[in-house]
Amino acid sequence: MILPFLLLASVLQPGASMAPYRQPQLAAGHGLVVLTFAQDKSIYFSYLRDQGRTFSQPTKVAEVAALAAGRHRGPRAVILKDAILISAVVGETVSTAAHAHGLPADGNLTVWRSVDQGKTWSRSGVINDVAGAAREGLHAFTADRNGNVLAAWLDLRAKGTQIFGSRSTDGGLTWSKNISIYVSPDGTVCQCCGPSIATGDSGQIWVMWRNALQGSRDLYITSSRDGAHFEPARKIGLGTWPLNACSIDGGVLAIEGDHVITAWRREGNIFLAEPGKAEIKVGVGKDVAIAHGKKGVYSAWSNGAGLEILAPGASAPVLLSSEGAYVSLVGLPDGNVLAAWETHNSIDTKRVQ
C-alpha cells in the first residue's frame, strides 16, 4: 500500500515502438525543477510545471553516436541563474570490449548549455582534458551558491581508476585544468562505482567515492575550499566490506547548509552516515538516493521488488512503488521532495510531503 503522503506528479512515457527512458536525474535551483534522462543514444530534458504537478513534454538535448547510460551512468543537470547545464559521457564509437555494455570506447565528459530554460541547447565543450579519460561513464555534477560548476568522474588516463575533477567559473563555457582528487595507494578505486559531489553554503566542496583498499570496498570522502587542493581522504562509517569485486553502487552525498550526509550500501544493507561518525542502518536494498526537504533528510532505495522511502523521523521505510529502479530525489522549492525512477520503460515521479 502506498501511504497518503505520496502524491502522484506525472509519468513520462515513450511511444510504443520507441526505446525506453532510462536513468532519470533530478535537479533544482533558482525556482526551477528539472529532469534529464537517456533514451538509446539521445539525451532529454523536461521541467516541472503546473505548480509542481506535471512535467513538460521532453526536449531532445542531443543525439550522439555512443552514450554512457545504465547502472548510475547517464546525464546530469545543473541549474544556474542564467543557464541550465546538462552533462553526459559520450563518444563516437561504441566499445566492443568485454563487459563494456555499450559504453563509448572514446568517452568524454561533455556539457550542453541552454539559456532559454531548456527550449534550445548548444554543445558547450568537453571537461576531461585527456581524450577518452572519462570512458567509464560515471560522473557527478553540481554547482555552488556562487554559480561555480564542479564535476568529478572516474578517470582512466593512467593505469588504474582514479578520481579526477574540474571547475568552471563562467557558467560551463570553459573548464579548469583537470585536478587529481584521489589516487588509491593500492592502484585503483572501485572501477565501476560512481562518485558524488556537493557543496555547502560556506563554499566547501565534498567528493565521495567507493575505494578499493586493503581488500575492501568502502566509501571515502574528501573536501576542498578552492576546488584545486583536497584534504586527505577519510573512510565513511566504522564498518568495512571485504569484497574483491565491484558492487556497481557508489552511494550518494548531500549537503544542507554545511551539514554533510552520505547514503550508501554495504553488502545488502543501506546506511546513512555523517563524516567522522558511526553509520546508521536504515534499510535493506541497493541504489540509494537522498535529498533534503523542509522536515529533514529523505532517503529512497531499491529493495529487490520495488522502491522504499524513509521520511525524516520515521522509524521504518514505506513503499514508494511496488516496482521500479534507479530512484532520484530532489528537494522542491516548497520544502517537499520529488522522486523519479525507471519503470516499464517510462519514468514515474511522485511528490513526497
321-333, pLDDT tens digit by residue? 999 999 999 999 8
Helices (H) and strands (E) counted in the chain, each on its own, are 0, 30
Looking at residue 17, what is its pLDDT? 77
Q: What is the pLDDT of residue 54?
A: 86
Residues 281-320: tens digit of each pLDDT: 999 999 999 999 999 999 999 998 899 999 999 999 999 9
- Looking at residue 33, its pLDDT comes to 95
Q: Residue 5 pLDDT more than 90? A: no
Instruction: Compute the average pLDDT of residues 214-236.
Output: 95
The mean pLDDT value for 322-351 works out to 94
pLDDT value at 51 more than 70 = no
Does residue 1 have a pLDDT over 60? no
Residue with cell 555494455: 101
Q: What is the mean pLDDT of the chain?
A: 93
Q: Where are the domains of the chain?
A: 23-285
Q: Which one, of 44, 48, 49, 86, lies nearest residue 63 by Cα?
A: 44
DSSP β-bridge partners for residue 41: none
Residue % of the chain over a pLDDT of 70: 96
pLDDT value at 96 more than 90 = no
Say yes or no to pLDDT of 4 above 50.
no
The confidence band for 6, taking pLDDT boundaries of 50, 70 and 90, is low
Instruction: Identify the pLDDT of residue 95.
Output: 86
The model's pLDDT over 7-16, given as tens digits with 9 standing for 90+, comes to: 555 789 898 7
* 3-class SS string, the chain: CCCCCEEEEEEECCCCCCCCEEEEEEEEECCEEEEEEEECCEEEEEEEECCCCEECCCEEEEECCEECCECCECCEEEECCCCEEEEEEEECCECCCCCCCCCECCCEEEEEEECCCCCCCEEEEECCCCCCCCCCCCEEEEECCCCCEEEEEEECCCCCCEEEEEEECCCCCCCCCCEEEECCCCCCCCCCCCCEEEECCCCCEEEEEECCECCECCEEEEEECCCCCECCCEECCCCCCECCCCCCCCCEEEEECCEEEEEEEECCEEEEECCCCCCEEEEECEEEEEEEECCEEEEEEECCCCEEEECCCCCCCEEEECCCEEEEEEECCCCCEEEEEEECCEEEEEEEC
The pTM of this model reads 0.95
C-alpha dist (Å) from residue 22 to 74, 86, 319:
8, 15, 21
Cell of 243: 569484497
pLDDT tens digit sequence for 164-217: 999 999 999 999 999 999 999 999 999 999 999 999 999 999 999 999 999 999
pLDDT at 2: 44
Give residue 108's pLDDT. 98
Arithmetic mean of pLDDT, 46-61: 85
pLDDT at residue 26, as a whole number: 97
Overall average pLDDT of the 32-37 stretch? 96
Mean pLDDT within 52-57: 83
Instruction: Please identify, in words, the CATH class of the domain defined by 23-285.
Output: mainly beta
